[in-house]
Structure 1
């Protein structure tokens, strides 16, 4: 069994963060940054804690105000920079000289912003299905949603989706809001937007009751709403890739709509020290759609 120090609440910059740690503390450290904003680290822990914890000192957090971390109170100062500052303060608190990052989805956006500000704190960065530009990601997701609506016979919504995806008169906030409305129309089929391989789901209720999940959801929704109102998450970071000298690996599921072609194109063109890898049987979440292969790719890259 791997060493496990999970469920800790650690006060970082005046706020309690939920932190899980796995593996030998003397091994190379990895910080996992979840997506959303506001998703939490549950699914990565469920599928990868044992796998990666055998080889690394794996650290997972629910970001400030998310799920099991202390809630952000109404009117409390909070913004995107707090998430970056929390990461760096946590590294110092744990007395880790350098760590590597795995950033999934929005966590990839956060990881890129973090490595730009603190390159000397980070060894390598793995981006898993990242979004570096919310507008491009939203348009790509709307296109995929439209195709699924067509698949399930909702032709008027399919046409609406295509117009939204190509329309030039929509702000990024409008696009994200319209995407959420359209995706809700898929009902029980909504996860097909993200997931290609449905054979390895996360059992969320093995951890917490439905009432507890309702509390976590409310916290995360407030976290997201505050970040959305601030607006910094809508700034494109694609141009920042060219300035990162740290080794970076971009991993994408073949069927992932979040990391659109432009993301891939810019990364391959601009990354000074970048590599790419495609998971052939995954959508947006290779860490559980192809969990064993994901582990192998991460180990090979970080130990090379």
Structure 2
């Protein structure tokens, strides 16, 4: 494992490089995401885990302009130049799928493949409400009970540590996130920094105005879309039905996973990703 950083307008973006083989840039947190992938994948690919501005310590004077999605995309490009990458696959999980696809469209000359995992096509309020309704209609009584038990602590968590509001929400919504609804994901978030002003803007505004299915219409590179059957955060998987018509898109539904199939079904995830990555461009 190798770590480094680059400074972008006062934001100290960390990166973590792990593995060997064809490079896959993973946008998100360089602390959180290395914990999700199985060791076997590091023997096939070089993963480059890259922070974005929402996962670094807040700078003292944050301007509104520091919150744009375009800045995030240009940060990724600066990291590419810093690491001297000529071609690679880019991976975006959850909300980071919007960043990954956005970069692939802005800098297509460097991206050979696009991997979008566990995301909804949009993060609009309407879609979020649709996901909650799906949970209420289809989740088991035991799963709902676990959710009610955990979510009751969220207000207290936020009051004690408001700058980690995003982390607290992710932890307390485990019943929406994992096939094993009692799974304790607290360890995944240890030492993960959050910058809530930027996260609020990206997830609440920028991603709500975008639609990944619409964005895919002009993408000719191979695209892998991975979804968890029990991922209630971005449910239902039928939101992605229309992409089956795209010849360059491979959609895989992981039947015993929630929001993190690379962690929950590592062997199946390995098989599907390696097979797709080995296909000729």
Q: Give 2:206's aligned residue.
A: 232
- 2:117 equivalent to 1:128: yes
| 1:42-65 deviation line (CA, Å, top 9, x unaligned) | 443113163322111110122114
Q: Within 5 A, what are the aligned runs for 1:263-278? A: 263-269=239-245, 271-278=246-253
Cα distance in 2 for partners of 1:56, 1:139 equals 37
Q: Within 5 A, what are the aligned runs for 1:34-73? A: 34=28, 40-48=29-37, 50-66=39-55, 69-73=56-60
Cα distance in 1 for partners of 2:184, 2:271 equals 19
Q: Give 1:32's aligned residue.
A: 26
Unaligned runs of 5+ in 2: 149-164
Cα distance in 2 for partners of 1:12, 1:153 equals 42
> Which ranges of 4 or more aligned residues in structure 1 deviate by more than 6 Å?
152-155
Moved more, 256-265 or 84-93: 256-265
Pairing partner for 1:241 from 216, 237, 240: 216
Q: How many residues align?
A: 254
> By how many angstroms is 1:29 displaced?
0.7
Q: Give 2:106's aligned residue.
A: 117
What is the alpha-carbon root mean square deviation over aligned residues? 3.3
Q: Give 2:174's aligned residue.
A: 191
> By how many angstroms is 1:80 displaced?
1.3
| 1:198-219 deviation line (CA, Å, top 9, x unaligned) | 58765627x85xxx56xx2xx3
Change (3 A) 1:153 1:294: closer
Query: Which secondary structure does the structure 1 equivalent of 2:277 belong to?
Result: helix
Pairing partner for 1:96 from 50, 60, 85: 85
TM-score, length-normalised on structure 1? Answer: 0.72
Cα distance in 1 for partners of 2:106, 2:136 equals 37
Cα distance in 2 for partners of 1:153, 1:119 equals 42
Query: Which secondary structure does the structure 2 equivalent of 1:119 belong to?
Result: coil
- 2:141 equivalent to 1:151: yes
Alignment check: 8 A CA contact 2:11 2:53 kept: yes
Q: Give 2:71's aligned residue.
A: 82
| 1:132-165 deviation line (CA, Å, top 9, x unaligned) | 211254023211443489937999xx9xxxxxxx
Cα distance in 2 for partners of 1:105, 1:268 equals 20
| 1:94-138 deviation line (CA, Å, top 9, x unaligned) | 010011012111111211211121111101111111222112540
Q: Give 1:140's aligned residue.
A: 130
